[in-house]
Amino acid sequence: MRKLLLACLLALACPGLACADNDKIDPATYVCAELVSEPGIMKGEPPLFQVLQIDGYVAAELKMDVASPDTVQVMMQQTFMWCQKRPDVPVINPWREARKTGPVPEGHWNAQTSTCRDYALNPDDASGFIIWLDGYNRKFRNTAKSVLNSDADLQEFIDACTISPSRKMLDVLNEHAK
């Protein structure tokens, strides 16, 4: 049920994965004040686009390759409460601590093994994984390059993935990140 809820929330936050350019964040510098002041928060809409990037980034740092909607939900709740008291701290600090001590992520979306075929078989579920994987790739490769800069960059990645079903999504994403 949580996975369905998170997928629905993501769909509302980013219909068709077409999000405004300013939704891409730098997880290393994104501070708690930004998280708690996201416009959707007051409407009860969590900033999924941002927290998926943060979780992917922290996951790469901690060498945790599995993306899990359940884990993201737990981390988001814990981090949000922590951030309300410490607005000047980078979000990755409490997120990292919560990820280290929180539930071990379980699921089939794995940064090191998920292929473009996995994307093709379930593009709706994969849309959140792409956002997560972009954050993961930025930390894993120590780069600022991203496929989230524009809808065109994102579509270029999706098109490349579509024609290369046996390739790892992480490799294709890295090639198309700008």
In which band, very low, low, confident or very high, does the pLDDT at 1 lie, cut at 50, 70 and 90? very low
Which two three-digit tokens encode residue 136?
Answer: 């993961």
Domain count, the chain: 1
* pLDDT for the residue 92: 97
Least confident of 6-20, 87-101, 151-165: 6-20
Q: Tell me the pTM.
A: 0.86
Q: Across residues 42-57, what is the average pLDDT? A: 92
In which band, very low, low, confident or very high, does the pLDDT at 9 lie, cut at 50, 70 and 90? very low
Helix (H, G, I), strand (E, B) or coil at 110: strand
**Cα gap 25→161, rounded to integer Å:** 23
In which band, very low, low, confident or very high, does the pLDDT at 125 lie, cut at 50, 70 and 90? confident
Comparing CA positions, the residue from 6, 30, 40 lying closest to residue 138 is: 30
Which two three-digit tokens encode residue 153?
Answer: 């960059």
**Mean pLDDT over all residues of the chain?**
87
* pLDDT for the residue 104: 87
DSSP 108: S
Q: Name the residue range of residue 81's domain.
A: 2-14+23-176
pLDDT tens per residue, range 143-172:
999 999 999 999 999 999 999 999 999 999
